[in-house]
Amino acid sequence: MGSSRRRGDRQLQFQLLHRLLALSSLLLLASGEVIFEERFEDGWETRWVKSDWKKSEGKAGMFKHTAGKYSGDPDDKGIQTTIDARHFAISAKIPEFSNKGRTLVVQYSIKFEQEIECGGGYIKLMSGYVNQKKYSGDTPYSLMFGPDICGTQTKKLHLILSYQGQNYPIKKDLQCETDRLTHVYTFILRPDASYSLLVDNRERESGSMYTDWDILPPRKIKDVGAKKPKDWDDREYIEDPDAVKPEGYDSIPREIPDPKDKKPDTWDDDDDGIWKPRRIPNPAYKGQWKRKKIKNPNYKGKWKIPWIDNPEFEDDPDLYVLKPLKYIGIEVWQVKAGSVFDNILICDDPEYAKQVADETWGANKEAEKEAFEEAEKERKAREDKVKIFN
């Protein structure tokens, strides 16, 4: 009873915080524009179109409106993939948006409630006309973003951009979250072609489209024809030219008689020969004399092939510009279903996106963790009970 009351009090606190954050979010909107925001509240089906792709083959999955088996807020529902080993395809039309001269922010949350074996959890943004009833894996897209897990090897976070009709994946090896809790993924693309990638409102990666995608030839290349100058001294240390070999150094023997070795009393020189002490290494012997090393006053550092302007590079000031965005879609294959997609946001204000993440995910993450742990205890108890009866 006490545990239930505490959860009820916590839920009330979350609801109050939710309202306060919602109010502050409205104030924040004055500085930016929300292109599309989907929290999958009642009526969401009027905005989304389920594709008939794979339906005739019996391989089309369905989405269920739910917060899942466990959540921080049961009223905060998303859409969950159902039926194992299926293709899932659903899309929504959005107000046409061009990111030319503007920052593009794409954000959403996903919870792999199932112990996912192999399946995607990404979203796509499309340009041009899309026949939503035929939306499929072959439908061209301008942006693909989100996790993709398969076995123990693939735990990838996709970030693919389209440029002049060709798709380019980010060169970095981005890893996604693999636990069974909700996580928020945020991609920010700016007019200077720089980007940031956030996971759970924390920046995980940043960089530039110029360097992290193989879209344009590099600005700089190594001058393969360059040769190290003859006068380039790359010796960090040299022998001391002023060092002088000590007098008598070469006459120091390598071995000397052992001063502790004594002639045995039973030794007979006539019968045994002239007794000689054993020889031992001479501690005064230092080996072949070498000049000591000193810092080279003419050291110029290790020579490196210089970088030069790439004659094949031609800048495109609109490198970051995607074709005008018109649709957002979820198109994934999952061996085991159960992923919950929620809180999709497309806007031009990173601060608003951060606010939404705090409101929808941050306020509920601890309660969700507790709900998950409680659900796991109940599941294990049921399994143990079955084992006893078996």
Output the pLDDT for position 385.
Answer: 76
Nearest to 370 by CA among 8, 121, 15: 8
Whether pLDDT at 192 is above 50: yes
Output the pLDDT for position 149.
Answer: 92
Output the pLDDT for position 176.
Answer: 94
Looking at CATH, the fold of the domain delimited by 2-218+317-389 is given as Jelly Rolls (2.60.120)
pLDDT band at 332 (very low <50, low <70, confident <90, very high): very high
Tokens of 292: 């000591």
pLDDT band at 2 (very low <50, low <70, confident <90, very high): very low
Q: Are 108 and 123 in contact (CB under 8 A)?
A: yes
What value does the mean pLDDT take over residues 203-220? Answer: 96
Whether pLDDT at 1 is above 70: no
Share of the chain above pLDDT 70, in %: 92
Reported as a single tens digit per residue, the pLDDT across 133-155 is 999 999 999 999 999 998 777 89
What value does the mean pLDDT take over residues 172-178? Answer: 93
What value does the mean pLDDT take over residues 113-140? Answer: 95
Burial class (CB in 10 A: 0-12, 13-18, 19+), 235: exposed
Q: Is 331 annotated as a binding residue?
A: yes
Q: Where are the domains of the chain?
A: 2-218+317-389
Reported as a single tens digit per residue, the pLDDT across 238-277 is 999 999 999 998 889 999 999 998 988 888 888 888 989 9
Q: Is 378 annotated as a binding residue?
A: no
Output the pLDDT for position 12.
Answer: 53
Rounded-to-integer distance, Cα 219 and Cα 316, Å: 11
Q: Are 32 and 351 in contact (CB under 8 A)?
A: yes
Q: Are 27 and 340 in contact (CB under 8 A)?
A: no
Q: Is 52 annotated as a binding residue?
A: no
Q: What is the mean pLDDT of the chain?
A: 90
Reported as a single tens digit per residue, the pLDDT across 11-55 is 555 455 545 544 544 444 445 899 999 999 999 999 999 999 999
In the block, residue with structure tokens 């957002």: 328
